Amino acid sequence: MANERLDHEGTGLDNNRQGSRFNKSEVKEKFKQRLVQMKDSYLKTADDASFMAREADGPMQSRYDTTKTEQAWLANALGGMGENVDRILSDWDTTFPSEISDKARLGALVFLEDLEYGDRYWFYMMPLAGGMTIEIEGESIRGLSVESILGKNLLGKEKGQKIEYRAHEGDEEPQRFKILDVL
């Protein structure tokens, strides 16, 4: 059956072959494609905002008429975001190795279990684009920024280790996770 998962335990491991059921190169390539789409979107929107800033009516008609200025700022910000993504993409193959690692680092696939709820999640560690999700073989893999609180807590950790942190100031209980696998 086409939709049947090989991994009934939700571990990301295929009992019929050695190791992960994910091809790490495929994961890496899918995230790269999503980043290219993101960059193109940023740059297109920046061009549109720049055009609107140039084409807006002449000088301000009132103190509330800030269209030109706002569009120029928007164009500048989006252009900068597109350039940041472009820099990451230019170093993609050297920054994100396809080899499997035993420690959580840039380019690692990390499988976590939420110790409070029992939910399990796959993350691909990246310098940005946290929250971006791809699907492979019916399994969601989320991009995780190494600059995020969770990302910072995972760096350098290995399979079997537990982490806990407070996501927000004032949280009474920390979030707790166990690292089930690192690829």
Q: Render pLDDT for 54-73 as a digit per residue (tens, 0 to 9).
A: 776 666 566 556 777 888 88
Which two tokens mark 81?
């975001």
Q: How far apart are CA 50 and CA 79, in angstroms?
A: 10
pLDDT over 70, % of the chain: 82
| Domain extent listing, the chain | 24-94, 100-182
Q: Can you tell me the distance from the alpha carbon of 55 to that of 125, in angstroms, rounded to the nearest whole number?
A: 41
| pLDDT tier for residue 115 given thresholds of 50, 70 and 90 | very high
Q: Does residue 112 surpass a pLDDT of 80?
A: yes
66 to each of 60, 79, 98, 104, 127, how far by Cα in Å?
Answer: 7, 20, 48, 46, 34
pLDDT at 65: 61
Percent of the residues in the chain that have a pLDDT greater than 90, as a whole number: 34
Is the per-residue pLDDT at 109 higher than 60? Answer: yes
pLDDT of 158-182, one tens digit each?
999 999 998 888 888 999 999 999 9
Question: What per-residue confidence (pLDDT) applies to 61?
Answer: 62
**Tens digits of residue pLDDT in 117-126:** 999 999 999 8
Amino acid at site 22? F
Q: What is the C-alpha separation between 146 and 144, in angstroms, rounded?
A: 6
Tell whether domain 100-182 is in CATH 3.10.50.30.
Answer: yes
Task: Decide: residue 119, CB within 10 A, 0-12 exposed, 13-18 middle, 19+ buried.
Answer: exposed
Picking from 182, 156, 165, the residue whose alpha carbon sits closest to that of residue 115 is: 165
Q: What are φ and ψ of residue 154, in 5° steps?
A: -85, -30
Q: What is the pLDDT of residue 60?
A: 59
Reported in sequence order, the residue ranges of the chain that DSSP labels E, i.e. its strands, are 109-114, 120-126, 133-136, 139-145, 162-165, 175-182
**The model's pTM:** 0.73
Closest CA to 146 of 173, 163, 132, 127: 127
List residues bridging with 65 in a β-sheet.
none
Distance (Å, whole) CA 147 – CA 170: 20
